Structure 1
Amino acid sequence: MDSAMTAPDRSGSSDASANTATRAAGIDVSKASLEIVVLCRDADHKDTDRSVSRSIPNTEEEFDKLREWIDREVEVDLERVHVCLEASGGYERPVARYLHEQNVTVSVVNPRRTSAYADSRLNRSKTDPVDARLLARFCQREEPSSWQPSSSEQKGLKDMTRGLQSLKKERDRLKNQIDRSSNPTVTSSLQSVLESVNEQIDQLEKAIDEHVQSCQTLARKRELLETIPGIGSTSAALVLAELGDSERFESARQAAAYAGLTPAHHESGSSVHRKPRLSKIGSSRLRKALYFPAISALRCNAAIKAFGDRLAERGKAKMVIIGAAMRKLLHICYGVLKNQAPFDASLHPGT
């Protein structure tokens, strides 16, 4: 499905400047379609109103047409195009991966960032073309960091662990229904479904283990994580799936920020002094993966236990201590993976 294209206005610019200009592009992603807007940015970095736009179906068969359209209409090498997309529940991944393979710089950004940017520009309309143009402007102004696709092994692990989490959520829901049910017929039916779900959980856990063992890199990383008291086989697989490649983070704090485990402070002047809280702006799945391991580590990991005891002595609430333990545990996971060395308790004396 092709929509009408807006021809670029090249008045006042030479062919040479058009060829040397860089282009920022925004793609508004939905399940069915992609709305693309490409802006110009001249060498002096001054904004212009020139743009081209197009809408195509969000299918892999149409991605080649997108590349051909950029070549034909935008008149710039693909290496000079920077495309910005919002994280859209996975619908953005196929086109992001395709464009990355075509040597296009791709950024996949948190929708909260672009929403705040829209508010700062006092946007009054919200349509697919408007959103795509906003993403292009955001890309042009902010130059967000580039996105790197996961390896096929990493993607497979993430898909399986997320499937496992969904099954476990369904198992808990069925258990709650069974506990509330007073009808023997309903209870029997629910028990039958629960048994089936438990079988699927066992099969998927076995498949995850086989998948990790089949990949030398993943197997080594899981082995390293399992040296940390509190981290078991299943938790290690979840952390690996959601954290991804530790090399993409410059520090443990950056990894903690990715998980939304860094403290958010609320202070202003002399009257506003709220207690710090976890920011929770980040991967909720990674936080969930660390919750029960942190509780376990507060009992069996001497480094984290000492850390938790010190917070308790200062009168910190239970959930504050658990949140701090989750952050500390992620710091340790990052260090183990970054240094490719097993957990060494001597590096965390009385932490």
Structure 2
Amino acid sequence: MEEAPSSSSNLAFSLGMGARKTALELALRNGEETVAKTTVANDSGGHDELLRWLLGQGCGPEETRVCMEASGDFEKAIAQRLYEEDYRVSVVNPRRIKGYASSQLQRTKTDAADASLIARFGQREEPRPWEPASASESRLQELTRARQALQKEKTRTLWSSG
């Protein structure tokens, strides 16, 4: 029986990504080594540049896993774009990455080092693929955030008036 194209055995490349408000720090691994690094803007032009860069490295969706930390929503647009381009994307809780860094005895804390570590994590740990939230899930998240903001404001108002 033939494996599905997204199975880990067909994923030769692992792209680790650190998403910040203005930039995406990228590290590409092939096997046990980091083979390329770059930084692109975290906007639609930078996202286009990232896709061109990946294809220039020979990293199409069929052979590339993308792993990134959840980082205050800075990762959402690029995760969505890569998902739409059929890349296998994983958005991972930063605590998992931090725990992995500790287990690897990595103490260097730079954006470039983080991207390489995230690429290695994605390659070795094979985190589950990310899928965008459905419309109803997105609405529920919005309502939950609004409720939390109202509760916080109520608490602040009670403390400041008492």
User: Residues 22 and 154 from structure 1, CA distance in 2 versus in 1: closer, same or farther, beyond 3 angstroms?
Assistant: same
Compute the RMSD of aligned alpha carbons.
1.6
- 1:37 matched to 2:27? The reply is yes
Q: In the alignment, is the contact (CA less than 8 A) between 2:90 and 2:130 conserved in 1? A: yes
What is the letter of the counterpart of residue 16 of structure 2?
A: G
Any idea what SS the aligned residue of 1:164 has? helix
Map Cα deviations across residues 212-236 of structure 1 (whole Å, 9 max, x no partner). Answer: xxxxxxxxxxxxxxxxxxxxxxxxx
Deviation at 1:21, TM superposition (A): 6.3
Structure 2 unaligned spans of 5+:
1-9
- 1:83 matched to 2:50? The reply is no
Distance 1:120 1:21 in 2: 24
User: Residues 103 and 86 from structure 1, CA distance in 2 versus in 1: closer, same or farther, beyond 3 angstroms?
Assistant: same
Map Cα deviations across residues 79-137 of structure 1 (whole Å, 9 max, x no partner). Answer: 22111111112111111111111100011111111111111221131100000000000
User: Residues 50 and 136 from structure 1, CA distance in 2 versus in 1: closer, same or farther, beyond 3 angstroms?
Assistant: closer
Structure 1 segment 237-316 matched on structure 2, within 5 A: none
Give the structure 2 partner of residue 57 of structure 1. Answer: 41
Q: In the alignment, is the contact (CA less than 8 A) between 1:117 and 1:138 conserved in 2? A: yes
What is the letter of the counterpart of residue 128 of structure 2?
A: S
Distance 2:11 2:149 in 1: 46
Any idea what SS the aligned residue of 2:15 has? strand
- 1:27 matched to 2:10? The reply is no
Deviation at 1:22, TM superposition (A): 1.4
Give the structure 2 partner of residue 178 of structure 1. Answer: 161
Any idea what SS the aligned residue of 2:28 has? strand
What is the letter of the counterpart of residue 28 of structure 1?
A: G
Distance 2:70 2:34 in 1: 26
Largest Rg, 1 or 2: 1
Distance 1:76 1:33 in 2: 21
- Structure 1 length-normalised TM: 0.42
Distance 1:118 1:21 in 2: 22
Structure 1 segment 82-231 matched on structure 2, within 5 A: 82-179=65-162
Map Cα deviations across residues 302-321 of structure 1 (whole Å, 9 max, x no partner). Answer: xxxxxxxxxxxxxxxxxxxx
Number of residue pairs matched? Answer: 153
Any idea what SS the aligned residue of 1:51 has? strand
- 1:70 matched to 2:70? The reply is no
Map Cα deviations across residues 50-105 of structure 1 (whole Å, 9 max, x no partner). Answer: 41111011113321111111111x21322221111111121111111111111000
Which consecutive segments of 4 or more residues in structure 1 shift more than 6 A?
none
Q: Which has the higher contact order (CA 8 A, sep 6+)?
A: 2
What is the letter of the counterpart of residue 55 of structure 1?
A: T
State percent identity of aligned pairs: 37
Any idea what SS the aligned residue of 2:101 has? helix
